[in-house]
Amino acid sequence: MGKHRRGQGKGGKGAAGGDAASAAAARSAADGGDPGSRQAEREEKRRRKEAAKAEKESRKQAEREAKQRRKEAAREEKRRAREAERAEKERRKEARRQAGRVAETGDGAGIGSPRASVVAEEMAQATAAVEQSLGAEPGLPAGEAVRSSSVARKRGIPASALERRDSSAGAHGSSEVEVRARRGRHEHVDLFDAFESIHWREFKILLKPEDFSDDVANDVSDYWRLARRVAGQLDLAIRRNREESKPRLREIVFLDTPGSDFYRNSFMLRVRREILADGPAKEYELTLKFRDPDVGRAFGVDPRPAPGVSGVMKFKEEILLVSSALGGMRSIFSHTCQLKAHRGPLPATFADCLAIFPMLACLKLAPETPIAPAVDTRVEEVLYDLGEICFRGSKTAKVDMAIWRNAETGKILIGEFAYETHFRHYGRLNPVPKLRSERLYRLLQRETGAWVELGNTKTWIYYGLSGRKVHDE
């Protein structure tokens, strides 16, 4: 009986195992049968996923390359446009130069020919007769006194520049021949071209030396605070320089003849040299400037350096104080050439100056005329870069303050607060920032009147150290 039960139990277990195997086989059949087929499906799925990923990466790479090609094409187009613009400017300049040369030789009579000189002489005689009958300034073409004013009104050129013409003609105490030489054939200057060549307007306010103490940095900070307050009254934004309290030191020297022939004829030959911790720098900035209240005369003088000498040309309008009262303004125009990082000895004779700036030959001085500092006093400039004043949008003005002092005694000679605007076209100046900059200039004088020195210019004060009056600007 017991054996029978044990056999019966084994038989039951076998039946149960068979049922489990059948179930596994059924599941296998339901899952697709062969395990190898499932592995193949997984491999196929993985290959499809990798193919899709590779295709996506390929599309991204193609898009990046296309974007890079578009950027390069845009840069090349801009470069070509800039080159075309430069070429067009050069073409216009050359056309104006050719027109000036033709006008000087008698309007097509042949450059340098005898007929050209005869025609030029006849035109000069006729011009003089018409000028005398019209009461015009000598040296201008017939009818220019009438025509230039109408052209100025049409083109938006300030009439004050034309009104100053007669009063400034004799302000320098020189003969008409000398004036003609200085102005560089001014009779052929187009006023529109002259004003379109102005790309800077610099507003200058002289400050009394007695208002400065031994702590110059604190005095500069006080005036800058007052200027910011006045700008706030006009809702002007201020961008302060983080290093506004760190000045630069420069040595200032004006070179001239013993008789001050440069300055008497409105020329200034200035040397500015940085003063470093170990003494004056070896390199210096040599600047030739011609300054005159008549825009045509200033534009007609070409101070460019000799061939092979690298210089930066600058033609700008300087806004200065009037000597009668606070709140006024007057314009003086300066044509400048700066030789930056110049090396070598300073010019010692007039011949040395001619080798750098040939146009000084119009002064007709002897080549051996000595050139030296105009005064014996060593002048040092303390220059603070204060920041920017925003007049509208991107129209900003760089603000600085310069203190000139005796380098040996430390005595303050003069201070100057200045801000300078830059633009491309004088005739298309936006009236809003233009009027705001002028309004700030007038209001700043009235609000800080106790500081303001109603004098001339820093250059005039420098030459005044010699104890004699040389020239009024």
- pLDDT for residue 190 is more than 90: no
Measured distance CA(287)–CA(271) in Å, rounded? 6
Long-range own/partner contacts, residues 40-49 (CB < 8 A, 24 or more apart): none
| Statement: residue 328 has pLDDT above 60 | yes
In whole angstroms, what is the distance from residue 439 CA to residue 432 CA?
10
CA distance 450 to 207: 9
**Exposed, middle or buried: residue 440 (CB in 10 Å: 0-12, 13-18, 19+)?**
buried
Q: Which pLDDT score, from 0 to 100, does residue 41 have? A: 86
What mean pLDDT comes out for the span 414-426? 91
Share of the chain above pLDDT 90, in %: 47
HEC assignment per residue over the chain: CHHHHHHHHHHHHHHHHHHHHHHHHHHHHHHCCCHHHHHHHHHHHHHHHHHHHHHHHHHHHHHHHHHHHHHHHHHHHHHHHHHHHHHHHHHHHHHHHHHHHHHHCCCCCCCCCHHHHHHHHHHHHHHHHHHHHHCCCCCCCCCHHHHHHHHHHHHCCCHHHHHHHHHHHCCCCCCHHHHHHHHCCHHHCCHHHHHHCCCEEEEEEEECHHHCCCCHHHHHHHHHHHHHHHHHHCCCEEEECCCCCCCEEEEEEEEECCCCHHHHCCEEEEEEEEEECCEECCCEEEEEEEEECCHHHHHHCCCCCCCCCCCEEEEEEEEECCCCCCCCCEEEEEEEEEEEEECCCCCCEHHHHHHHCHHHHHHCCCCCCECEECCCCCEEEEEEEEEEEEEECCEEEEEEEEEEEECCCCCEEEEEEEEEEECCCHHHCCHHHHHHHHHHHHHHHHHCCCCECCCCCHHHHHHHCCCCCCCCC
- Region 98-119: mean pLDDT is 45
pLDDT digits (tens, 9 = 90+) for 343-389: 889 999 999 999 999 999 999 999 999 999 999 999 999 999 999 99
Q: How confident is the model at residue 115 (pLDDT cuts 50, 70, 90)?
A: very low
Mean pLDDT across 237-259: 94
Q: Which residue has the higher pLDDT, 422 or 27?
A: 422
Dihedral sign for Cα atoms in the order 213, 220, 457, 374: positive
Does the structure show a pLDDT above 60 at 6? no
Q: How high is the mean pLDDT of the chain?
A: 79
| Model confidence at 403: pLDDT above 90 | yes
Segments making up each domain of the chain, as ranges: 105-169, 196-464
Does the pLDDT at position 197 exceed 70?
yes
Instruction: Check residue 4 and give its pLDDT.
Output: 46
Determine contact, residues 179/187, Cβ cutoff 8 Å.
no
Give the torsion through C-alpha atoms of 315, 246, 389, 228, to 10 deg.
-130
The mean-pLDDT minimum among 55-64, 172-181, 305-314, 438-447 falls in 172-181
pLDDT confidence of residue 101: 54
Q: State the pTM of this model.
A: 0.62
Find the mean pLDDT for residues 4-32. Answer: 50
Strand partners, 316: 200, 334
Q: Who wins on pLDDT, 172 or 415?
A: 415
Q: Looking at residue 103, what is its pLDDT?
A: 45
Banded model confidence at residue 195, pLDDT cuts 50, 70, 90: confident
Q: What is the pLDDT of residue 335?
A: 95
What pLDDT, in 10s, does the model give residues 146-182?
Answer: 334 443 444 444 444 444 433 433 333 333 344 344 4
Which one-letter amino acid corresponds to residue 330?
R
266 pLDDT above the threshold of 90: yes
